[in-house]
Amino acid sequence: MSIVKSLSVGNGDMFYIKHGNDNFTIIDCCISEDDRAWIIEELKSESKGKKVKRFISTHPDDDHIRGLTYLHQEMNLLNFYCVRNEATKEDQTDDFDQYCELRDDVEKAFYLYKGCTRKWMNEDDEERGNSGLECLWPMTGNKDFKEALETAKGGDQPNNVSPVVKYSLRGGATILWMGDLETDFMEKVEDAITMDAADILFAPHHGRDSGTVPTKWLGEMQPRLIIIGEAPAEHLNYYEAYNTITQNSAGDITLECLKNKTRIYVSDSEYSVDFLDYEIVGNNYGGY
């Protein structure tokens, strides 16, 4: 069993995976001063006893690295995963400076690309098993990706340096994250790779129309559930042909990943959907 949680942090992204072994993964960071006490407390509590803790940064926009300085102070991020890049910002913040420091640290940084391998990320050894994480994109030689890197290096939008990260529980759910990839970029590179099948997709760019996943990739993924982020409602694509949960309304979303099933909990007790089966279960995760 594993727990995947999408924290309701407003217009931003933050997730964690409590793996069934002694791995713990945080994906992105969006922590305000008002929220940081309870978020850090939860992260520390849920990661207690885990020997391998990693942070995956999809890209260095403020709504994905806000509070990174504080998070690093509190949790000492020794394993920092990101796409190799030289992104700059005209208006630098302490959190962006912290991102750059971790990104460029030869001891802490690990660079993501399609097919990359790393002990305990996706390789076992005699000490412990792997975390079930894979990177499906980027292909570092792709010309459109290289252009996205140059755009970010020049201080412009770094959305399209985001990787595509897959988490799989053996015998259970497969989940995809795509950062803030934008539709026009995805359409340029959609034929470069065949996207893996996925049970659950966290819609890129917080579910915005501008991050709509191409039809080709959706056909390859065949997601059974798409989770739409917290962008303003007027900017969202609701993926009407698919089963969806909208975090704007649902609040925190917790996935209890088991063999052959995933239980889904949300923090808003009034939120419901009609496409899921109901079981009577005891839990500490919120509304079932």
> Burial of 3 by CB count in 10 Å (0-12 exposed, 13-18 middle, 19+ buried)?
middle
Between helix 94-103 and helix 68-75 the angle, nearest 10°, is 60
Q: Quick check: 216 and 192 in contact, CB under 8 A?
A: no
Question: In the chain, what are the domain boundaries?
Answer: 2-266
Mean of the per-residue pLDDT values of the chain: 96
Per DSSP (E only), the strands in 1-143 are: 2-6, 15-18, 23-27, 29-30, 52-56, 66, 80-82, 109-111, 133-137
pTM to 2 decimal places: 0.97
Is the pLDDT confidence value at 280 over 80?
no
Going by C-alpha positions, the residue among 235, 238, 236, 198 that lies closest to residue 218 is 198
Question: For residue 172, what pLDDT is reported?
Answer: 96
pLDDT tens digits, 50-73: 999 999 999 999 999 999 999 999
The token pair at 15 is 């997730």
- Is the torsion defined by CA of 244, 245, 247, 252 positive or negative? negative
Orientation angle between helical segments 36-47 and 68-75, nearest 10 degrees:
40
CATH of 2-266, picked from 3.90.870.30, 3.40.50.720, 2.60.120.260, 3.60.15.10, is 3.60.15.10
CA separation for the pair 218, 39 (Å, rounded): 32
* Distance (Å, whole) CA 152 – CA 60: 9
* pLDDT for the residue 288: 66
* Among 274, 253, 250, CA closest to 263: 253
Residue 285: per-residue pLDDT: 76
Q: Average pLDDT for residues 185-212, to the nearest whole number?
A: 97
Work out the pLDDT band at 35, boundaries 50, 70, 90: very high
Sign of the alpha-carbon dihedral angle for 85, 165, 204, 28: negative
- Judged against a pLDDT cut of 70, whether residue 238 lies above it is answered with yes
pLDDT digits (tens, 9 = 90+) for 150-182: 999 999 999 999 999 999 999 999 999 999 999
Q: Taking the CA atoms of the chain, what radius of gyration do you get in angstroms?
A: 18
